[in-house]
Structure 1
Amino acid sequence: MSKSKEELLENYAEHIREKFKETPDMEFLDLVTVGLGPAIYNRDSSLVSGTDESELETVRKNFLVKKLGLPDGPHLMHAIKEVMREYGASERNKYRAVVYYILARRFKKENVYR
């Protein structure tokens, strides 16, 4: 049986606290999670592989450029790789909601969700 959205949110918040040493904005985290729709319940689509270049490219194109409206450039991939590094190589489950939350906050694009 899959976890409820509330259980997933708490799990995501725990990752933000532990991996990024930040106190999560639960309202914003909820908005990011809702924006991902049913993908949060599918094991494969709910995770981001930090070592798969095509996966990182998808985050760059579909999230940073299309969703957040950022101008394309090498700084975007640098930011993604920095988040992956901070998340930690030993953390196999890099949740897409957490990655998107951190990237949106780093680029100060929370307003896209509000």
Structure 2
Amino acid sequence: MSRRDELIAKYAEDLKSKMGVTPDMDLLTKVVIGCGPSIYNQDSETVAGSDPDELARVKNSYLVKKLGLADGPELMAAIKSVLEKYGTSNRNKFRPVIYYMLCTQFNKQSVYN
């Protein structure tokens, strides 16, 4: 099993156990691949939910640029909603898990086709 496959399995487990979602493994794999090399770095693999700059980065780089959503207050509300569901006490909020949840929340799976 490759390192990426191990990480995908870890993210799928987080989606199941912490988010209560059975992931579409094909979509999850594409989201992980879309994250690029950031998944191999412990710092960039996670999202700091209490850092406003990090949240703005998720909004601008992922939701606006990657998913093509119009900027607005609903984007930050969606990010905070996903982070809240992930658990405020959970220190390891994995970027691919958050991106997967945001992608499905905005019904933008077609971006990865």
Alignment TM-score > 0.5, same fold: yes
Aligned equivalents of 2:35 and 2:20: distance in 1?
A: 23
Aligned equivalents of 2:110 and 2:45: distance in 1?
A: 23
**2:47 is the counterpart of 1:48:** yes
Pairwise mapping of residues 2-13 of structure 1 onto structure 2 (< 5 A)? 4-13=3-12
Pairwise mapping of residues 75-114 of structure 1 onto structure 2 (< 5 A)? 75-114=74-113
Structure 1: unaligned runs, 5 residues or longer: none
Identity between Structure 1 and Structure 2 (%): 51
Structure 2: unaligned runs, 5 residues or longer: none
1:80 positional shift: 0.2
SS in 2 for 1:15: helix
Count residues with an aligned counterpart: 112
1:20 positional shift: 1.3
- Residue by residue over 1:6-55, the C-alpha shift from the partner in whole angstroms, topping out at 9 and shown as x without a partner, is 11011100110011111011000000000111111011111101110110
- Aligned Cα RMSD in Å? 0.9
TM-score, normalisation: structure 1: 0.96
TM-score, normalisation: structure 2: 0.96
